[in-house]
Amino acid sequence: MRERFPLLAANPGLHYLDSAATSQKPRVVLDAMREYYERDNANPHRGAYALSVRATDCYHEARAKVAKFAGLADADCLVFTRGTTESLNLVASAWGRANVRAGDEIVVTAMDHHANFVPWQQLAREKGALFRIAPITHDGQVDLDALGGMLGARTRIVAFPHVSNALGTVNPVRAIATLVRERCDALVVCDGAQGAPHLPVGFDDLGVDFYAFSGHKMCGPMGIGALLGRRAILERMPPYQMGGDMIEVVGDEETTWNVLPHKFEAGTPNVADAVGLGAAVDFLEGIGMDAVLAHERALVAVADERLRGLDGVTVHGPAAAMRSGVASFTVAGIHPHDLATILDERGVCIRAGHHCAQPLMRRLDVAATARASFYVYNDESDVEALVSGVREAQRIFDGHVARG
């Protein structure tokens, strides 16, 4: 698998364990983007000449592929964005501003990434709505009883992650959506940044109103992502940004909007990155998303066992079988940044910090954790390098002779 990723093929000693931040890119994705620019590049949707038609076709084909990958039958309900952050801000700005009133309530979870936390917090402040944070259990899962107790007649939005970026916890999306529907008439927004790259999404069966993800975490290029929504909601929602492509007729005083998805895609679209994302989902489907998840879980189970075998190491979150390929851990007496530096010298790339989830870190009562995240190109040699690097850090810091 490594040889299909040029960066990894060129760096045989590199143990890249930060795919939850961004994945490496397979050659087929890089080739697809290059071919688009070398063969099909023009501004799409102008249609006056054959090359522009080809560019338009490339863009539509990419949308169709990504929609199918995510289990969305109506591809026009997939809006291309810059990524998850823009997708979530789009919903908060366009739907939130038009629909949230003073006294309404917005519910998020304590494990949300800042991108699915701050837009709702600020919307609530702007509108005089109540911003509520559903707690997590001691092992890092959403506390469904507590969440259910927060839902009521004033709840307008419920936002939560498919998979926690900091812990890897896979949330029961369908169960949460059902719980919300039973208790209130709220918009259900799921942050899929860590979901779509690692497991089958099946949007049409999830029961959520919106689902957002980023291309660069799933073998695609940076700068492209998607927002999937229900048609009835997208059609009633005001536009997010104004400009070319998103209009129907522009009068001197008034303007009417283009149909979905163009209404939410102002300006020249990012065709090359959409093509790259299309190639990325082809690549992932070639492996199979069930196989991707099974591969990650097998590695993370080994990592958990090996890390927990070391003195002073705590792995946070639920059991490996309930997580994606993320191991978030702390080592007694060693700050995650020091750990990351020592690992880096051994070619092991991990993330150290709060993972853009400061509310979660406060609840875990840690300032930061070290996070190793596994993907399709990782294998047990990466786990070995990680564990031996942690032991090395322990030797430097306290002369521990670690077990395991």
Q: At closest approach, how far in Å is the CB of 387 from another protein?
A: 15
Q: Is 356 an active-site residue?
A: yes
CB nearer another protein, residue 114 or residue 181: 114
* Residue closer to another protein (CB basis): 162 or 355: 355
Residues 389 and 342 sit within 8 Å (Cβ to Cβ): yes
For 34, the token pair is: 């290059």
Q: Both tokens of residue 80?
A: 């291309």
Residue whose CB is less far from another protein, 257 or 397: 397
Quick check: bond before 172 cis, omega within 30? no
Q: With contacts defined by CB under 8 A, how many residues of the chain interact with another protein?
A: 20
The answer to whether 254 contacts another protein (rule: CB under 8 A) is: no
Does 198 participate in binding another protein (rule CB under 8 A)? no
Burial class (CB in 10 A: 0-12, 13-18, 19+), 353: middle
Catalytic-role residue among 77, 184, 219, 356 = 356
| Residue 41 within binding range of another protein, rule CB under 8 A | no
Q: Does 353 bind another protein (CB under 8 A)?
A: yes
Residues 6 or more apart from 60 whose CB is under 8 A from it? Answer: none
Which range in 42-50, 124-132, 378-386, 394-402 contacts another protein by CB under 8 A? 394-402
Selected range binding another protein among 1-9, 135-143, 262-270, 391-399, rule: CB under 8 A: 391-399
Residue 51: which residues within 8 A CB-CB, separation 6 or more? 40, 41, 42
The site string for another protein over 281-320 (x = CB under 8 A, - otherwise) reads ----------------------------------------
Q: Cβ closer to another protein: 67 or 372? A: 372
The binder of another protein chosen from 143, 245, 282, 392 (CB under 8 A): 392
How do strand 15-16 and strand 210-214 relate by DSSP bridges?
Answer: unpaired
Q: In whole angstroms, what separates CA 205 from the centre of its chain?
A: 19
- Counting contacts by CB under 8 A, is residue 341 touching another protein? yes
User: Cα separation of 334 and 312, whole Å?
Assistant: 10
Amino acid at 356: C
Residue 222 to residue 72: CA distance in whole angstroms: 22
H/E stretch holding 189 reads strand 187-191
Distance CA 386, CA 243 (A): 48
> Which span (198-206, 243-251, 310-318, 342-350) binds another protein, by CB under 8 A?
342-350
* Residue of 38, 252, 345, 365 interacting with another protein (CB under 8 A): 345
359 binds another protein (CB under 8 A): no
Output the CA angle 46-50-54, nearest 5 degrees: 80
Residue count of the chain, please give it.
404
Nearest to residue 328, comparing CAs of 367, 371, 357?
371
| Binding segment toward another protein, per CB under 8 A, in 36-44, 184-192, 248-256, 344-352 | 344-352
- Give 233-255 as a DSSP string: HHHHSPPSS-SSSSEEEE-SS-E
* Contact stretch for another protein (CB under 8 A) within 115-123, 232-240, 262-270, 345-353: 345-353
Q: Is 332 a binder of another protein (CB under 8 A)?
A: no
Binds another protein by CB under 8 A, chosen from 132, 183, 346, 363: 346
Q: Which residue from 342, 364, 387, 402 is in contact with another protein, where contact means CB under 8 A?
A: 342
Q: How far is CA 342 from CA 308, 337, 392, 395, in A?
A: 19, 9, 8, 11
Exactly one of 361, 385, 387, 390 binds another protein (CB under 8 A); that residue is: 361
Give Cβ neighbours of residue 291 (< 8 Å, ≥ 6 apart).
none
Between 229 and 336, name the residue whose CB sits nearer to another protein: 336
Q: To the nearest whole angstrom, how small is the minimum distance from the Cβ of residue 340 to another protein?
A: 8
**Backbone phi and psi for residue 162, each to the nearest 5 degrees, phi listed first:** -65, -50
Answer yes or no whether residue 384 interacts with another protein by CB under 8 A: no
Residues near another protein, by CB under 8 A: 334-338, 341-342, 345-346, 352-354, 358, 361, 367-368, 392, 395-397
Active site residues: 356
